[in-house]
Amino acid sequence: MPGKLHGRSLISSKDLTTDEYAEVLHTAVILKRQRRSRTPNLELTGKTLAMIFQKPSLRTRVSFEVGMTQLGGHAIYLGPSDIKLGARETTEDIAIVLSRYADIIMARVFGHDIVADLARHAGVPVINGLSDREHPCQILADLQTVQEKKGRLAGLHMVYVGDGNNVAHSLMYGCARVGMSLTVVTPEGFEPDAEILADSVEIGRSQNATIASSRDLSASVKNCDVIYTDVWASMGQEAEADQRRQLFAPYQVNESVLARADAECVVLHCLPAHYEEEITYEVTRSRNSAIFDQAENRLHAQKALMVLLAG
């Protein structure tokens, strides 16, 4: 029997309940174990994933395409020149047409409204592969990685350091849902969206998790369980890169920052990394670093998501 997630879309990290996060992560563990033991799992045989890309990608494209292949299905890459969303055709028409061909649609876009419109008009599940507002697939991999390293999620304290961007927004929702406290540490003027913060605080309260924003890096990381960072300037913000380097310089994750955290603190970065900017190369290669496990888990978490949505 199809589960509660069957036929659903994932547009925001808020879309999943606490139990549904547990279901996705449990499925990801099983699929990862099967992959490691070379046990075939062809649950999506005969299914097709349509992948829409406005933004280039390494991890998103490869993890979804490889994941679909491993599950017995097929993935089609549709780049910016193949589909001009809202220009050559309306988003509504694209959603309706692709739903006649494919069983799942994944979109990596700029505006969050685009992926929301796709989900509104599509007759198949739509997955947000990244938008300017959120990055829910990344957060599934992040939570899987923390769970692997720490054996649990509830009761831990994560500190996210950097820009209050799409990754920070999805982390706020995801951590709140699973009962993990999160402090988002940013320079003044780069705080996460106030509405998402307030929403996450409320969700977190029901799970005994504290979601907060701060500018004090030193105090925030003291004895924390997880430190997470991301690039200071995301795609589309290249013109601001030089200015951001100056403003964000005090927020680099380096050995002195790591030393204030718990000795077994897990270091995460969703990649690509700009070494010696948001994080030092030494920290990414330290015993605390799990950034490449985290990158691998994009594959397993997204396979789990696709199986539950369309299997």
Q: Which tens digits make up the pLDDT trace of 154-168? A: 999 999 999 999 999
Q: Rounded to whole angstroms, what are the CA distances from 38 to 7, 34, 35, 127, 188?
A: 28, 6, 5, 27, 49
What values do phi and psi take at 227, rounded to 5?
-115, 130
Please tell me the distance from the alpha carbon of residue 297 to that of residue 288, in angstroms, as a whole number.
17
List the domain range (segments joined by +) for residue 162: 138-294
Tell me: pLDDT of 130 over 80: yes
- Strand 157-161 relative to strand 226-229, pairing: parallel
> Are residues 184 and 235 both part of a single domain?
yes
Instruction: Give the residue carrying structure tokens 């390293």.
Output: 149
Q: Are residues 188 and 286 in the same domain?
A: yes
Do residues 235 and 53 make contact, with C-beta atoms less than 8 angstroms apart?
A: no
Which of 146, 156, 126 is CA-nearest to residue 29? 146
6 in a domain, yes or no?
no
Q: What is the C-alpha separation between 278 and 291, in angstroms, rounded?
A: 14
CATH number at residue 102: 3.40.50.1370
In terms of domains, do 70 and 188 share one? no
On whether both 230 and 258 belong to a single domain, the answer is yes
Residues 51-75, mean pLDDT to the nearest whole number: 96
DSSP 5-35: TTT--B-SGGGS-HHHHHHHHHHHHHHHHHH
Residue among 6, 3, 14 at smallest CA distance from 116: 14
**Peptide bond preceding 187 in cis form (omega within 30 of 0):** no
Tell me how far apart the alpha carbons of residues 226 and 290 are, in angstroms, rounded to a whole number.
10
Q: Are residues 142 and 117 in the same domain?
A: no
User: Is residue 190 one of the residues assigned to a domain?
Assistant: yes
Q: Does one domain contain both 283 and 148?
A: yes
The number of distinct structural domains making up the chain is 2
**Nearest partner of 224 among 264, 278, 251, judged by Cα:** 264
In a domain, 8, yes or no: no
- Other beta carbons within 10 angstroms of residue 108's beta carbon come to 22
Of the listed ranges 42-51, 66-75, 108-117, 234-243, the one predicted with least confidence: 234-243
Q: Which helix (H) or strand (E) holds 252?
A: none
The yes-or-no verdict on residue 1 having pLDDT over 70 is: no
| Cβ atoms < 10 Å from Cβ of 194 | 10
Whether the per-residue pLDDT at 25 is higher than 90: the answer is: yes
Question: And the tokens for 219?
Answer: 């105090």
Query: Could you give the residue numbers annotated as active site?
Result: 108, 135, 138, 230, 270, 298
pLDDT tens profile 176-227: 999 999 999 999 999 999 999 999 999 999 999 999 999 999 999 999 999 9
**In this structure, what token pair is assigned to residue 239?**
């013109």
User: 123 with 250, same domain?
Assistant: no
* Percent of the chain's residues with pLDDT above 70: 98
Based on the fold, state whether residues 199 and 222 are members of the same structural domain.
Answer: yes
The first and second tokens of residue 30, run together, are 């099983």
Structural domain contains residue 4: no
pLDDT at 2 over 70: no
| 236 has pLDDT over 90 | no
The chain-wide mean pLDDT, for the chain, equals: 96
The per-residue pLDDT for range 251-301, each reduced to its tens digit, is 999 999 999 999 999 999 999 999 999 999 999 999 999 999 999 999 999
| Half-sphere exposure of residue 120: CA atoms within 13 angstroms, side-chain side | 10
